[in-house]
Amino acid sequence: MTKRYPFSCLILVIGLLLLICPVMAADFKTISAGNTVYIGEQGLDITSILASGTQIGWWASGASISGSSPDYTLTVADASNFYVSPSEFSTRTGSWYVLPAKTQAFNVVDPQLDIRVEDTTVSVDVTNKWVPTDDELQFRIDSNLVQIAQRTGSGGSVPVTIKVQSPDGGVYSSLINKAGTSTSLVDYLLTTTPQYTGAIWGTSNRGTYIPGTYTIWVECNVNSMKDNYGQSGKTISNKVTLLNQDRNPLIGNQGYVTNPTTAVTTKIYTTVTTRSTTSVVPTTIPATTIPVTTLPTTDVTAPVETILPITTMPESTAVPTTHTPGFEAGLAIAAAIFGLVLCLKKK
């Protein structure tokens, strides 16, 4: 047993070295002519471009490099340990040249990082929004840092760390999806932009992912750039949030309605029945146009007596005809003579 113990320790050490070697193999410090370097990076090796003590120069945009002097010059004290200082380079991005030859040394870029959250269950961007428990999520990372992958020895990728802070303040180092697959959030490798992580977060595990608001961001500390230049949106992305819970927060007192009802206008009509001795005819009349008349409640089969109102005629205002005295007597005598004449003619 005592002879096997050292051997088992040796196997364990070899296994650890195999795990560590791929990470150690990546070299982000060696810079070749024309490579992109980022503000905040330190410990860069630019010895393949120039020697220590050499001057480099920067020209403002649009300036004639061949026909003018640089707008700013800098002496590289140690080419094997070069620092892209924010104070020197934050306002002087772009190409820098080796002096006096004016050959390109490297390109200085201001780093940028951004992260968004997408619900793969319904294919919706849920950044700073709500997601129902039981959905799966992925991250979209936008960055200009992928040019680090062009450096010799970089392995063709750039490591970033995704930060997911739970409602109780804890920060996850990995996430688990519905299938039970665990994905590390530390040194997550970027190879393109934008880059999608795929569905790596299943929110249905209440024991691990409690309901509440999560805070999410991504950061890059390649060559200590975050430590030296830790600005939001640059080496650290702006923080976004995600509300994970069962109930849609839009449904409640804010008046959000998923199935709105349609108002229906109902017209009301009143039926008035007129009874006569022969038939009963129902007549439908809108109540809004004709007032309801109450009829006497007598036997339905009995005829309804219609009482006509007595109309009092107004007294005539005509002026009476005035006759001359004796006029009626004259008429009587004339009538008698006329009758006598008729009798005589007959005889």
Report the pLDDT averaged over residues 239-260. Answer: 64
Report the C-alpha gap between 301 and 298 in whole angstroms. 9
List the Cα angle 41/39/139 in 5-degree steps: 85
Longest CA–CA separation in the chain, Å: 189
The answer to the question of residue 290 being in a domain is no
Report the C-alpha gap between 18 and 15 in whole angstroms. 5
Instruction: Indicate the DSSP class of residue 149.
Output: G
The answer to the question of residue 3 being in a domain is no
Tally Cβ neighbours within 10 Å of residue 225.
25
pLDDT at 21: 42
- Strand pairing category for 103-109 and 36-38: parallel
The answer on 136 and 89 residing in a single domain is no
pLDDT at 133: 86
The answer to the question of residue 161 being in a domain is yes
In contact, 276 and 153? CB cutoff 8 Å = no
The answer on 102 and 127 residing in a single domain is no
More confident residue, 90 or 62: 90
The overall pTM is greater than 0.75: no
Domain count, the chain: 2
Instruction: Indicate the DSSP class of residue 78.
Output: -
Is the pLDDT score of 25 beyond 50?
yes
The answer to the question of residue 313 being in a domain is no
Q: Pick the range with the lowest mean pLDDT from 15-24, 41-50, 155-164.
A: 15-24
Is the pLDDT score of 19 beyond 70?
no
Is the pLDDT score of 313 beyond 80?
no
Domain ranges, residue 62:
25-109
Is the pLDDT score of 303 beyond 50?
no
Q: Pick the range with the lowest mean pLDDT from 23-27, 68-72, 97-101, 292-296.
A: 292-296
More confident residue, 157 or 298: 157
Q: Show which of 203, 224, 245 is a domain's final residue.
A: 245
pLDDT at 235: 98
The answer to the question of residue 142 being in a domain is yes
Report the pLDDT averaged over residues 29-51. Answer: 97
Is the pLDDT score of 89 beyond 90?
yes
The answer on 132 and 85 residing in a single domain is no
The answer to the question of residue 81 being in a domain is yes
The answer on 215 and 186 residing in a single domain is yes
Over 159-186, what HEC string results? EEEEEEECCCCCEECEEECCCCCEEECC
pLDDT at 26: 82
One-character DSSP codes across 42-60: -SBB-TTT--TT-EEEE--
Is the pLDDT score of 274 beyond 80?
no
Report the pLDDT averaged over residues 270-279. Answer: 40
Number of H helices, E strands in the chain: 4, 20
pLDDT at 245: 87
The answer on 147 and 63 residing in a single domain is no
Going by pLDDT thresholds of 50, 70 and 90, the confidence category of residue 325 is very low
pLDDT at 287: 46
The answer to the question of residue 271 being in a domain is no
pLDDT at 345: 62
Beta bridge partner(s), residue 142: 114
Which CATH number is 167's domain given? Answer: 2.60.40
The answer on 241 and 119 residing in a single domain is yes
The answer on 95 and 146 residing in a single domain is no
- Rg, Å, the chain Cα set: 53
pLDDT at 337: 74
Is the pLDDT score of 164 beyond 90?
yes
Tally Cβ neighbours within 10 Å of residue 9.
10
Calculate the dihedral angle through the C-alpha atoms of 87, 93, 98, 101, rounding to the nearest 10 degrees: -140
Going by pLDDT thresholds of 50, 70 and 90, the confidence category of residue 51 is very high
Report the C-alpha gap between 159 and 141 in whole angstroms. 12
pLDDT at 62: 87
The answer on 141 and 230 residing in a single domain is yes
Q: What is the pLDDT of residues 186-222, one digit of tens each?
A: 999 999 999 999 999 999 888 899 999 999 999 999 9
More confident residue, 15 or 54: 54
The answer on 152 and 35 residing in a single domain is no
Report the C-alpha gap between 12 and 237 in whole angstroms. 38
Is the pLDDT score of 262 beyond 60?
no
The answer on 80 and 120 residing in a single domain is no
Report the C-alpha gap between 225 and 111 in whole angstroms. 9
The answer to the question of residue 117 being in a domain is yes
The answer on 174 and 121 residing in a single domain is yes
Own/partner contacts of 31-35, CB < 8 Å, gap of 24 or more, are: 31/82, 31/106, 31/151, 32/151, 32/152, 33/103, 33/104, 33/105, 33/106, 34/104, 34/106, 34/107, 35/106, 35/107, 35/147, 35/150, 35/151
Q: Show which of 63, 80, 109 is a domain's final residue.
A: 109
Q: Show which of 64, 84, 109 is a domain's final residue.
A: 109
The answer on 117 and 190 residing in a single domain is yes
Is the pLDDT score of 244 beyond 60?
yes
Report the pLDDT averaged over residues 41-52. Answer: 98
Report the C-alpha gap between 124 and 132 in whole angstroms. 12
Report the pLDDT averaged over residues 4-30. Answer: 52
